[in-house]
Amino acid sequence: MYDLLTGPGLKLSIGICLIGLIIRGVLYIKGLHWQLDRVAYTAHLKAGIRGALRSIFFWILPFGARGWRTQPLMTVLFFGFHIGAVCIPLFLAAHTMILQKALGISFASLNQTVADVMSWGVVVSAFFLALRRLVLPEVRILSGPYDYLILFLSAAPFITGLLCRYEIGDYSFFLLIHILLGEILLISIPFTRLSHILLFFLSRAQLGMDFGIKRGGMKGKGLNW
């Protein structure tokens, strides 16, 4: 079972994830309004790209955007979750060995202490993000079972990974569950809100181009918007 999950299973789940994200990206771009968006972006590409890169940069920088600075606790939880969620799957030593064997891709490995801190960061952040949805009325009213399911699905591979790391319970059982949950997570990405892995960058780029061209960015330069 282990060889099946870390071989064909891993390749299949990564393939579904990547192909699905490409399709979501193409559909997003094709969905842009040709009069409101594409015309301006094409005619003023340089200003648009500058605005897009600026928007993405400040939103992936902790406290870089005003939205992050107005919610410091949320910012810490968000980045604590997402930094680990990106780095651990790619750079944990055990994962790099599996990726090398299955796909021939080799990444540098994280120091084990750093990996432990990041893994706990994901789990603790996920707990407080769920608590935030339960406690804050303005967030609770927008939260449903789907939101909690997505949060659990995202955190579950890290919880089982920590169980394996500290050899709590049946190691072989939790290792298979850990791998299976990770691959379910990969497959679900294009079909759920987890597609924000890509769509976050596309939407931030679109907003950045909007502001860089139409909403004051090209003001006084003969642009009729």
Which sign, positive or negative, has the C-alpha torsion 204, 46, 40, 210? positive
Is 206 inside any structural domain? yes
Q: How many CB atoms lie within 10 A of CB 216?
A: 10
Confidence of residue 34 (pLDDT cuts 50, 70, 90): low
Q: What is the mean pLDDT of the chain?
A: 90
Range of the domain at 141: 2-212
Residue 223 lies in a domain: no
Whole-model pTM? 0.89
What tokens appear for 24 in the block? 């979501």
Asked if the structure places residue 221 within a domain, the reply is: no
pLDDT in tens, 49-107: 898 999 999 999 999 988 899 999 999 999 999 999 999 999 999 999 999 998 898 88
Question: How far apart (Å, rounded) are the C-alpha atoms in residues 215 and 213?
Answer: 6
The answer to whether position 154 is within a domain reads yes
Q: Is residue 92 part of a domain?
A: yes
Where residue 173 falls among pLDDT bands split at 50, 70, 90?
very high
- Would you tell me how many other CB atoms lie within 10 Å of the CB of residue 18? 14
Query: Domain for residue 224, yes or no?
Result: no
CATH of the domain at 72: 1.20.950
Spell out the residues 6+ positions from residue 212 whose beta carbon is closer than 8 angstroms to its own: 47, 48, 50, 51, 52, 54, 55, 218
Q: Does residue 124 form part of some domain?
A: yes
Domain count for the chain:
1
CB 121 within 8 A of CB 80: yes
